[in-house]
Amino acid sequence: METQTVSREQANHLWKIDSAHTTVEFAVRNLFLFTVRGRFTGIAGTILFDEDELGRSSVEASIKAKSIDTGNRRRDAHLCSADFLNVEQYPEIRFQSTKVEKGRDRDTLRITGELTIAGKSREMTFEVTEVERSRSPQGEEVAYYSLLIKLDRRDFGVSYGRLITGRTVTVTIHLQAVRRTEDISR
């Protein structure tokens, strides 16, 4: 993932996604009888959050596609294959925002951008809830966000198993971001 270039003024609004404390979990029906659940672990990204002027805010995130974990190595290998995520050709799932605006209430934001999975991009709009802000034991400012996304996997060209695997993938993200405090001299 490329490093986001920011001005000194923007540096005051820059947050880094804390991959150790962020979860990306998914669920999809299989065989119409049970739900397969899993998670991705390799997430990275930055958030430029200007509370005074939301239009200057942005989100950039990526997930290592082969970090998928359903608790079954054989199934994970199949999900990494060309039948599903094709991680050899498309190693990352990416999101790049195009617009950040107020959501339905004071605790939510609407974020629109391009989501790319298995080489296919779609414009998506997500409602993100800011759960809380606090300080870490080390004194860093931390923000917590939550969002629930429902994706049609066929929109991203992932159509294998049409009769046995559900179309809708429900993704739950609990994200922790830390305000960057180091000097950025760009």
Compute the average pLDDT of residues 47-66.
94
In a domain, 3, yes or no: no
Domain region containing 132: 8-179
pTM of the model: 0.86
Side-chain-side CA neighbours of residue 50 (13 Å): 14
Tell the residue number behind the tokens 């029906």, with chain if given.
29
SS3 78: helix
SS3 11: helix
Compute the average pLDDT of residues 118-128.
96
Q: Output the average pLDDT for the chain.
A: 89
Q: Is the pLDDT of residue 6 over 70?
A: no
Compute the average pLDDT of residues 150-175.
91
Name which residue leads in pLDDT, 162 or 9. Answer: 162
Q: What's the pLDDT at 184?
A: 44
Q: 20: how many CB neighbours lie within 10 A of its CB?
A: 8
In a domain, 56, yes or no: yes
In a domain, 145, yes or no: yes
Summarised one tens digit per residue, pLDDT across range 82-108 is: 999 999 999 999 999 999 999 999 889
Question: Domain tally for the chain?
Answer: 1
In a domain, 185, yes or no: no
Residue 32 belongs to a domain with what CATH number? 2.40.128.110
In a domain, 86, yes or no: yes
Q: Please, which pLDDT band fits residue 180 given cuts at 50, 70 and 90? A: confident
Distances in Å between the Cα of 75 and the Cα atoms of 36, 44, 71, 81, 163 are 10, 24, 8, 10, 17
Rounded-to-integer distance, Cα 125 and Cα 123, Å: 7
Q: What's the pLDDT at 10?
A: 55
Q: Is the pLDDT of residue 183 over 70?
A: no
Residue at 124: amino acid letter = M
